[in-house]
Structure formats: structure tokens, C-alpha cells
Structure 1
Amino acid sequence: MKIDKKIVLGFVAITGMIVAVTTTSFFSFNNFVKLFNQTQEKIQLAKFTTEKEIDHLMWADNISKGLIEEKAINITFDPTACGIGKWIYQSLQDKNFSPEVMKHIHELEPVHKLLHESGKELLGQFSESNIIPATNRTGAINYYAQHTALHLLKVREKVGNIKEALNHEVTGLNQSVANTTKFVFTLLIVVSIVAILASIFFAVTSARGLFKFAQNLLQSSDKVVHTSQDIASRNQELASRTEEQASSLEETASTLEEVTATVKQTTDNTSKASKLTKEVLDNAKEGSDTSKHVQTAMNEITTSSQKIAQIVDMVDEIAFQTNILAINAAIEAAKAGDLGKGFAVVAIEVRDLAQRSSDAAKDIKGLIDTSIGKVENGSMLVKSNGEKLEEITEGIQKVNDIMLEISAATNQQYSAIQQINIAVTQIDTVTQDNSRMVEEVAHFSENMNGVAQEMDQAIKNNLSV
């Protein structure tokens, strides 16, 4: 084969390799950018669902505070008005996500609707001007525990399924980005080495047309330099965007920690309220027992008063008999004449004493009858008071049971938020790893750009010689 044909063949081969690597790099870079944008969209969506899940926890926390502290409850009833509701119906209309994510969105929509309807039903049944009075609090707490809390757990479960599917897709996209990047850099290195070896080969074996070949090689080198510079610039921009995303996730994790602290405080307050309710229950039971003791004492007083009344009746009867005897004695004294005058005086005095004893006995009986009536009335009041205290004790017992249920539910919410916090921390860790990987890619691109510039300068120096 003639040397000019070898030069032409070498030029065509090297040019073909450069065109191939340039084209491959271009399409690979576009694919890289596309995959990165998809990854960022998935991460933003995961962040969005996490924030809206937090909003619904705050929504439920608003209801809980209204149930415990008798504050106004201001919540959104319309399931299409909240942030996650708008996203659900927009997603169902656009259908821009994978079948797996769309499946979980379809499952989330009815559960999310039931959650808002339960909040509306709760306030509709038990509130007055968005405030739940103490008389309705027990029913409201029961309704919240049996409906709203269950719907909230289902919403969080469905949102967790969506985030899990998104995280799975993000993992796949990150793997694709890594594979694409590895392929591009491997291809560039291999083609560069092959091009250099081919240049050396044709420079040694070809004497004629070497200057033209060197010019073509210089042009190709310029293209490699420009391409490497462009890739380095794009990678630097990508590193900056990834760093911003990592910073945003750190802020989200910080906000979630604050929400965790708030829910923990609510849990502590619920525990304190449960303890206070138990103390009130114990005091009510003690009051009921005291009322029973008082009722027993009143019954004993009534019995004693009745016995005293019987004794007074006996005294009155004795005074009556004494009065009759005194009258008979006076009659007999009158019959005796002068001899019975002294006896007659004594009989009159005895009759006066008997009369006074009878009057005093009647007065005592009247007072005792009045006292018995008052004691019986007091006994009835004490009995009624005891029944009311027992009813209050039963009501407080029910409230105490409900407070224990609320405390358990709040503890579950705190555990769930801790799990979310762990998940966000894991996502933040993955993002930080991605950021470091992009920075390494940018560093490799800069190194490759430096190598390309050195190669370009070497070719120019040889050409000038």
C-alpha cells in the first residue's frame, strides 16, 4: 500500500474515531443530563411528599391540640385544596409518572379524601365555632381515635409507598448516570490512546503528507480540547446543582427534627394530662367513699333520734299517769278534811310537776321530730350526692381511658416521625454521596481537559518545528 493511501486511510480512521467519540459524547452527555434531571425531579417529588406528609401531621396535631386544650381548630376540609391533594388530582390527570407510582397515587386518593371528610365530620358533630366544648370532648376524642387517626395512618402508609417507589427509581437513575459517565470517560480514554498510537504509527511510516496529517491531527486535538472543556464546564454546573440539592435536603431534615420535637412535646403533654386525669379520678373515688360514710353516719343519727323519741313518749306517759295519781290524791285529801290539807298541798305540787314534765316532754318530742326530719332530708341529699359522685367517677374513668388511647396514638405518631426523619437522613446521605461523585467526575473532567491541552500544545510545538 502506497504511503499516500496509508495517510488517507489513517486520516479517515482517526477522523472517524473523533467523529464517533464526539457524537457518542454528545448523545451520552444529553442522556446524562436527561437522567440527572429525572433524578432531581424524583428527589424533589420525594421531598414534596415528605413536606406534605408533615403538613398532614401538623393538620392532625391541630385537631389533637383542640381536643386537649379547647382551642379553635382551623383545618382544611376540601381534599383538593391542600398541597398533596392538588398534586394527586393533577397527577391523575397528567399521568406523568411510572405505572408503579401511578398505582400508589390511585390508592392514596380515596384514603386522603376520607381523612379530610373525617375532620369535617368531627367538627360538624362536636364543635361550636370550631371549638370543641368540654361536654362534647369525649365523643370527639372517640371519633378522632376511631376514624381520623386511622385515616391519617393509611395516608402516611400510601405516601410511604409512593416515596419507596420514587427512591427505587432514583436508585436506578443514579446507576444509569454512573454507567453513562463511566462509559463516556472510558470511551474518551480508549479513543484518545488509539488516536495517539495511530498518529505515531502513521508519522513513522509515512513521510509524504505528514504536514497535512499533522494539521488534521491539530484540528482533531482542538475538537477534543473544546469537547473536554465543555464537559468539564457542564460537570462543574452539575456539581453546583447537586450541592444546592444536598443543602435543601439538609434544611428539610432540620425542619423535620423541629416537627419531631413538637410531636414529642405533645406526647409529653398528653402523658401529663393522663396523669392529672388519674389523680382527679382517685380524688373523685375518695369523695364517693366519704359520701357513703356520711350517709351511714346520718342513718345512725336517725336511728338514735327515733330511740330518743320513744324514750320521750315514755316520759310523757309517766307524767300523764303521775298527773292522774296527783288528782286522785287531792280528792282523797279533800275527803279527809283538815287532816288531809297537807297531803292535798303535796298532791297539787306533784300534779304541777307532772304537768311541767309533760309539757317539757312534748317540747323535746317536737324538737326531736324536727331533727329527725332534717336528718332524713340530709340523708337523702347525701345519698343523691353519692350517686352523682359515682356518675362523675365513671365519666372521669372513661376520659382517663380515652386519654390513655390518645397517649398511645401520639407515641405511635412520634415513632412514625422518627422513622421519617431516618428516611430523610438516608436520602440526604445518598444525595451527599451523589454530590461527592459529581465532584469527582468534575475533577476527572478537568484532568482530562488538562491532558488534552497538553497534547494540543505538544502537537503545535511539533508542527512549528
Structure 2
Amino acid sequence: MNNSLKKQLGIYFAVILAAIILGGSIVVYGIYDIYRLNKEQKVLMESSVTTLKSATGHLEWIDNLNISINTGSEFTGKLDPSACLFGQWLDSQDIDQIENEEIKAQLMKIIPLHEMIHHKGGDIIELIETDREAAYSIYVGEMVPTVDSIVESLNLISQEYEGMASHYGEKLEKDILWTIATAAGVIILILIAVAAVARKITREAIDPVLDVTNAIFELEKGNLSIDISSDRENEFGYMINSLSRAVKNIGSYVKDIDSIMSQMEQGNFDVELDRDFTGDFAAIKNSINGFAGNISQTLSNVSMASENVNMGAGQVSMTSQMVASGTSSQTELVDNLIGLTSEISADAENNNSSLSQAAVLFDETVQFMDRGNHEMANLSSAMDEINDTSQEIKKIVKTIEEIAFQTNILALNAAIEAARAGTAGKGFSVVADEVRNLAVKTAEAVNITVSLIENSTSAAEKGDHYARSTREVIEEISQKSGTVLETINQVAKASSKQTEAVSEINKDIEEIAGLIQTMASSSEEAAATSEELSTQTDILNDLIAQFRLKN
């Protein structure tokens, strides 16, 4: 692509970049020159101001010396030539580097005179103390003319520096104007170049893209009759022309496919796409040709299968009639078998009912025995409690017996003490006798109670022994009864299973009878269906004959 848009835009951008670099360099150089000239002008102006101030300073210096001579006041000026403003300025200057010959000549003239007046000033200050008139004479004859000459030279130097600064100022103004004009020109050229590039991009890129976009919108709607072309010899021109060729190729493919499909719609499958389809369309061509061949082969196979089905339908009709006649005799045998199984099932159900009632009665007996066992357990527990209570009563009776014994001893001691007391203790002796009698009766009652409690305890122990023995017997009977009940339940379950098995056999026989009847009906229906199927295969063959198939 000699006229590649990418290459053209690259050239445009390269030119713009070169213009920016060149213009920028010129502008930067102009700014640097402005900075340099401004710096030089500033130095010149500072030098002009410094020399002018030095001239004024030396006039003040000489005037101060005059006042000191005439009035005898202290001299406040500087006597060191390097300490004054001009001397400091001279130290910062390199006279050999000064290009202005007039300035250089005036400085060479001033330097010795400047040193001379500062040294002479020192001499005059010392001479004031001894000879004021001589000091004044030197001041008027030598110092004043010399200072005037120095001031005149400094004024000339200041004027030269001012003139040079003015010259640099004019040049600075010209450079600023030239730099601004150059920058403006570069900006204008860049804007013109950018506008040209934008116009180029719009004309060569954006407009073709819009054309392609509109064409794609039409393709999206299914419109293959669009007409799009371009005479541009760049990427977008080639893209548009390629799209146009692609749309035309697709349109021709669609027309060929539509023609083939129309023929197949009318029943003609003896067709084939013979033109070349490129790219992914080759697969579509192969699919259509394969579809037509497969349909032809399938319909041929269906026609052959239909003939075979027609022949088989006749055979099925004959077989069905034979099966229908054989099922009638089987139905009579099955009816007799159903009667026998019904009687067996009734006997099994009666047996199962009797076993169920026996199991219920025996289960109730076992429950009563469990209740008796529970009551005997309660009785044994009560006997244990009576035995425990008897033991506690024994302890209480023993305590009462001990109390009676102690009471008897106390009564005996009281009787002894009453006897000792004589007549005074008679009343107390009577009480002691009564207490002793009460103690004796209590001891007798305790003995009787102990005897009764021992008899009761013995009877309770015997009752507990008999209750435990009875409980063990009842538990053993209950266990045996449980075994008998389990056996009755197992027999009942076996009888129930037998009844269920007989019932299932009866159901199976009934289902067999139903199947035999169904088979008989199905045989008759199959015979009718076979005849109908034969008729339908004839119709199917007539329909297939309407299609044009490949050989």
C-alpha cells in the first residue's frame, strides 16, 4: 500500500512534530537570549548606579574632610581606599574583561587618584593637630581638584554604563517581540497542520467508517442488495471494496441456496450445488448436498421398510387369530383354579381369626399375671417396711425398759431415804412405792410388748418369705406365659402369611386370567391393526412415490 493512510498520517505527524521541535527550539533560544540580555542590562544598570553613588559619596567624603579641618570635629569618612563603595565595586570588577575602552581608560585614570586621596586624607587628619592651615592648603590645592577629577570620571563611567544598558534594553525589546512573533507563527503553523490532519482523517477515515457502518446496519436488517464502493487507495478504500465483494458473494450464495431449497420444497431431492463455495460456505454447500442425499436415501429406505411392514402385517393378522382361539380354552382352566384357591383362602382366614382371638385372651392373662406380680412386689415391700418398723419399736421398747429399770432404782433409793427420814419421809415413801409399782408394771408391759413385737416380726418375716416365693412363682409363670404367647403369635403370623400368600396366589391367578382375556382382546385388535397397518403402508408408498429421489 504505497498510499497507506497510516503512512500519510505518519508523515503529517512527523512534519508537525518537526515544526513543534524547531519552533520550540527557536522560542526557547529567544527566551534564553531575553534572559541573558536582561541579566546584562541589570548588571550595567547596577554598575551605572554604583559609580554614580560613588561620585556622590566622594563629594560627601571631601565635604566631611573640609568640615573636620575647619571645625576640628572628628572625621567620619573611610581612609581605606578598598572600604568605600567605589573600592568595593572595583574589587568585584575585572578591568581586563571590560570591553568598553572609555570606561577602561577612565578607571585606569581614577584608580591611582582614588588611592592617593584616601592616603592624603589620612595625612591631612594627622596634620590638623599640628598645622591646620597647612592641612587646609593641601586640602584646597590637591584634594579638591583630585576629587573633582574623580567625580567627573565616575559620572562619565556612569553615563557609559547607562548608555550600554539602554542599548541592551532596545535589543531586549526587539528580542521579546521577535520571540513572541516566532511563537505565534509556530502556533499558527501547528494549528494549520492539525486542521489539515483532521480534515485528512475525516475525509479518508471517518467518512469511510460511516459508510461501512450504514452498510452493516443494512446487513443487520438482512438486506444483501446494498451497493457500496470506494476509489480511495488506502486501508479504508480496500476495506470498503472487500466488504462490497463479500456482500455480493454472500448474495449469490443465498440465491443458489434458495433455488436448491425451493426445488426440495416441491419434492425434488435429485438436486446438487455444483458451484464453488469458498471459506466457511463450503461447509454449507456440503451440508445441503449431504442433506439432499440423506433424505433421498432415507425415503428409499422408508419405502422398502413399508413394503416389509405390509408383508409382516399379514403374518401378524394370521398369528393373532390363532392366539385368540387358543386363549378361550385357557380361560376355562383358570376359572376352575380360581375357585379352588378361594376355598383355601377362606379356611386360612378362619384359622388365622381363631389364633388371633387365642393370642388376645392369652395376652390378657399375661397382663393379669404381671399385675399380680406387681402387687406381690408391693406386698413384699410393705412386709419389709413392717419388719423395719418392728426393729425401730424394739429399740423404743428397750429404751422404755431402761427407763423403767432406772425408775425402779430411783424408787428404791427414795424408799431408803424415806426410811431414814422416819415420820417426815412417810409421804415420800408412799410416792416411792407407787413409782416402783409403776416401774414394775411398765417393765411387765414392756416384756409383753416385746413378746408381741417378736411374734409380729416373726409373722412378718414368714409373710415376706411366702410373698417372695409367690412372686418368684408368678414371675416364672409370667416368663413361661410370655414364651407361650410368643409361640402363639408366631403361629398366628405364619397363618397370616399363609393367608396372604394364598391371597396373592389368588390375585396372580386373577391377573393371569385378566392377561389371558387381554391377550385375546389384543390378538383381535392386533389382527385389526395389522389390516389397518397394511392399508397405511399402501398410503405411505403412494406419498413417497410423489418425491423425486436420487438413484
> TM (normalized to structure 1)?
0.40
Relative contact order (C-alpha < 8 Å, sep 6+): which is higher? Answer: 1
Which of the pair is proportionally richer in helix?
Answer: 1
Decide which structure has the larger Cα Rg and report it: 2
Q: TM-score, normalised by structure 2?
A: 0.34
